[in-house]
Amino acid sequence: MDIFVQQLFNGIILGSIYALIALGYTMVYGILGLINFAHGEVVMIGAMVTITLLRILVEMNTGLPAAALVALAITTALPLCALLGFTLERVAYRPLRNAPRLSPLITAIGLSIILQNLAMIIWGRNYAPFPPILDTTPWKILGAAITPLQVVIVILAVAIMAGLWLLIGRTRKGRAMRAVAQNPNAARLMGVNVDGIISLTFVLGSSLGCIAGVMVAANYGQAHATMGFMLGLKAFAAAVLGGIGNLAGAMIGGLLLGLIESFGAGYIGDLTGGFLGSQYQDVFAFLVLILVLVFRPSGLMGERVAERA
């Protein structure tokens, strides 16, 4: 039972982070039909910049509480990541909007390689430790340990997702985004600034990614120049699991993938009679992904897309 609750907590924490990243993938996909392969690197840059700023702030001995320092670092890193997302779209995706479908995929991969290696040039090949300023004494709930930081991560993630939900469902900009996702040409005829909306999507997605990156770094206590790749991959898989292009799908897919991973890691040994150990947790996650897609080819929440005639 203890293990069950612990894995449940771990899964929810991991899942809410995946969900934030998956939202970035799914928003871009919904609007452009494009896999933004460089999104994982934006997440990484967010984490690395925040850690660097935090270190500087800690050294300055400002006497501010730890939470304020982190907030300060994030508010500086956030616009940087937003700008990065904006630039990526402008430089690499916009010129290729009418190109064959796979061409923007290659530029995205190229950008991903560039960002990852630039990060290594700037921050080196070693792990960047997250300054140990946050309280990590765990609380005991139902026999499982959870730190205050992890509670904050989950609450913050839920709040951000709710905010995004309101933004897209209730505001004028949100309505414009949905219109562009449905039919860019018709939206343009209705007076929507399509290019502006696409830029906004990238800015939003990158900001979410930045926060998710900081969460990962704070939760694991470190960040690395290559962390974006696997994170991006998992989050992308989560977006697809939920039905790519669908906001609720990305949230549910992310949460589900987090749970699958942590329960997989916890129970795979018992399930297979000790034949497979927890090193197979990724296999487990991908296997579930494949099975879901075999039985629901457009993801859990995805609508059946009408086949074009």
Partner 1 sequence: MSKTLSAKSHSLPAKVWAGYALLALALLVAPFIVGQVGGNAWVRILDFALLYIMLALGLNIVVGFAGLLDLGYIAFYAVGAYLYALLASAHFDYHVSAWIILPIGALLACFFGAMLGAPTLKLRGDYLAVVTLGFGEIVRLFMNNLDRPFNLTNGPQGISGIDPVSVAGYGLNKGITLFGQHFPSSYAYYYLFLVCMLLVVFVCIRLENSRLGRAWVAIREDEIAAQAMGINTRNVKLLAFALGASFGGVAGGLFSGFQGFVSPESFTLMESVMVLCMVVLGGMGHIPGVILGAILLTITPEVLREVINPLQRSLFGRSVVDPENLRMVLFGLALVLVMLFRPAGLWPSQRRREELEDDA
CB-nearer residue toward partner 1: 137 or 279: 279
Shortest separation between residue 212's beta carbon and partner 1, angstroms: 19
Q: Which is nearer to partner 1, 29 or 263 (CB)?
A: 29
Those residues with Cβ within 8 angstroms of residue 294's Cβ, 6 or more apart along the chain or in another chain: none
Q: Least distance in Å: CB of 172 to partner 1?
A: 30
Residue 61 within binding range of partner 1, rule CB under 8 A: no
Considering only the stretches 51-59, 69-77, 188-196, 290-298, report the one whose residues sit in contact with partner 1 under the rule CB under 8 A: 290-298
Cα–Cα distance list, 234 to 18, 120, 243 (Å): 7, 22, 14
Binding residues with partner 1: total (CB under 8 A): 51
Helices in the chain by DSSP H: which ranges?
2-32, 39-60, 66-88, 103-123, 148-170, 172-182, 184-189, 194-220, 227-242, 247-271, 281-295
Binding status of residue 235 toward partner 1 by CB under 8 A: no
**Nearest residue to 300 via CA among 246, 251, 245, 243:** 243
Which DSSP symbol is given to 136?
-
Write down the H helix ranges in 124-193: 148-170, 172-182, 184-189
> Is there binding between residue 185 and partner 1 (CB under 8 A)?
no
CB 265 within 8 A of CB 244: no
Nearest C-alpha neighbor of 77 from the set 110, 94, 53: 53
According to the binding rule CB under 8 A, does residue 86 interact with partner 1? no
**Contact window for partner 1 (CB under 8 A) among 107-115, 129-137, 173-181, 255-263:** 107-115
Q: Site for partner 1 (CB under 8 A): which residue of 117, 171, 182, 193?
A: 117
Q: How far is CA 86 from CA 97, 114, 205, 207, 306, in A?
A: 15, 16, 10, 10, 31
Site for partner 1 in 123-162 (CB under 8 A): 125
What separation in angstroms does the CA of 186 have from each of 131, 193, 251? 50, 11, 28
* Residue 309 is a binding residue for partner 1 (CB under 8 A): yes
Q: Is 300 in the site for partner 1 (CB under 8 A)?
A: no
**In this complex, which beta carbon is closest to partner 1, that of residue 107 or of residue 207?**
107
Site for partner 1 contains 106 (CB under 8 A): yes
For partner 1, the binding residue among 1, 189, 294, 306 (CB under 8 A) is 294
Asked if residue 16 lies in contact with residue 157, where contact means CB atoms within 8 angstroms, the answer is: yes
Where do contacts with partner 1 occur on this chain (CB under 8 A)? 29, 35, 91-92, 95-96, 98-107, 109-114, 116-118, 120-121, 125, 233, 236-237, 240, 244, 274-275, 277, 279-280, 282-283, 286-287, 289-290, 293-294, 297-299, 307, 309
